[in-house]
Amino acid sequence: MHALVYHGPGRKVWEEVPKPVILDDTDAIVRVDATTICGSDLHILKGDVPEVTDGRILGHEAVGTVESVGRSVKNVRPGDRVLVSCISACGACSYCRESRYGQCTGGGGWILGHIIDGTQAEFVRVPFADTSTYPVPAGAEDEDILMLSDILPTGYEVGVLNGQVRPGDVVAVVGVGPIGLSAIMGARLYSPSHIVAIDLADSRLEAAKQFGADVTVNSGREDPLEVVRSLTGGLGADVAIEAVGVPATFELATTLIRPCGHVANIGVHGQPATLHLEQLWTRDVTITTGLVDTSSIPTLLRLLGDHLEVRPFVTHHFAMRDFVAAYETFERAADTGALKVVVTP
């Protein structure tokens, strides 16, 4: 088969590789019907993720059709259409038993396209298939389901649920790239009174409006704190969601919230931030970090359609043989307007 293979920083090739085989009784081999590229794939290609070694097939998001399963797999059968979670769950460790699959200590967690070969391929071996795949509802489109593999659960769990968004809240989202947009989409499920999108790029702010932000702030021209205060009688936002991953945006998020507010960090950080405890110590703030668990996939699957329209995430389509072009389009999002690119056989 063919796959997108990492060969060290900056080097990725769509090349012929051996087709994966069942290694464990709990594995499934899945034919990939649709996959996509994530911001973390770009981090890997920059060389920022040293666990990823030469020869690794990238990718951790897929919708596909089960080809074969190990002898212990009970809930998935050949021929089933499945959503492959970006997080593998052993199902038996103390973290998995509390639905915290991202912290799995039994061999799961984020492993696809990271520690083992991933989904940017014609076939993928999916460990712990019973607890790491989800049946695709009849009639659902691959590319809609694909948005539930990583991006939407990430915005929803790490942003919205960790941030404890409630009806009537004012929610500030700092950074409205694809992850920030997924947080906006997830936040709307809880009927906040206002979603304030904050970014430096007008094009992203325009997208944020389409996704449901009702106030947008270009922080290069306006002071987000002033906007948020004007909406909240001077108090600050109930929830601030950080979706960039640099110190300045994290620090901004901590200044935007009201006493008793929540800062939910989703951003992937490469360096420390400054925490202004000299101001925050009396303000009853809660700050959370998190890797997605994808425990919300069943919930999000039930909402797909009328309640949750994910199609606007899909901006581009590619065939697998053009995978390198798909990467280029995704990398140059500022120019191409790419949010998620869907890659199919």
Residues that bind a second copy (CB under 8 A): 25-26, 71-72, 74-75, 91-92, 94-100, 102-103, 106, 130-131, 166-168, 188-191, 193, 245, 247, 250, 259-260, 265, 267-278, 280-291, 295, 298-300, 302-303, 307
Q: Which residues 6+ apart lie within 8 Å of 69 measured at CB?
A: 22, 27, 28, 29, 76, 77, 78, 129
Q: Cβ 327 to a second copy, closest distance in Å?
A: 24
Q: Which is nearer to a second copy, 270 or 345 (CB)?
A: 270
Alpha-carbon Rg for the chain, nearest whole angstrom, is 20
Smaller CB separation from a second copy, 135 or 337: 135
- C-alpha dist (Å) from residue 228 to 84, 87, 169, 183: 38, 35, 12, 18
The alpha carbon of residue 336 and the mean position of all alpha carbons in its chain are separated, in whole angstroms, by 20
Least distance from C-beta 66 to a second copy, angstroms?
A: 15
Instruction: Report the nearest approach of a second copy to the CB of residue 114 (Å).
Output: 12
- In one-letter notation, the amino acid at residue 59 is G
- Residue 279: exposure state from Cβ atoms within 10 A (0-12, 13-18, ≥19): exposed
Q: How far is the CB of 337 from a second copy (least distance, A)?
A: 27
User: CB 335 → a second copy: shortest distance, Å?
Assistant: 28
Query: Please, which residue, 4 or 310, has the CB nearer to a second copy?
Result: 310
Beta partners for residue 64, in sequence order: 32, 82
Task: Please state, as a whole number, how many other Cβ atoms lie within 10 Å of the Cβ of residue 325.
Answer: 15
Neighbours of 234 (CB within 10 A): 9
* DSSP characters over 277-327: HHHHTTTT-EEE------TTHHHHHHHBTTTB--GGGEEEEEEGGGHHHHH
Taking the C-alpha atoms of residue 177 and residue 199, their distance in angstroms, rounded to an integer, is: 9
Q: 40 vs 149, which CB is nearer to a second copy? A: 40
Nearest distance from C-beta of residue 157 to a second copy, angstroms: 10
CA distance linking residue 120 with residue 112, whole number of Å: 10
C-beta closer to a second copy: residue 5 or 301: 301
For a second copy, the closer of residues 106 and 337 by Cβ is: 106
Burial of 50 per CB tally in 10 Å (0-12, 13-18, 19+)? exposed
Nearer to a second copy by Cβ, of 7 and 166: the residue is 166
- Smallest separation, CB 301 to a second copy (Å): 8
**Residue pointed to by tokens 């925490």:** 275
Please state the closest distance from residue 57 (CB atom) to a second copy, in A: 22
Q: Which is nearer to a second copy, 56 or 188 (CB)?
A: 188
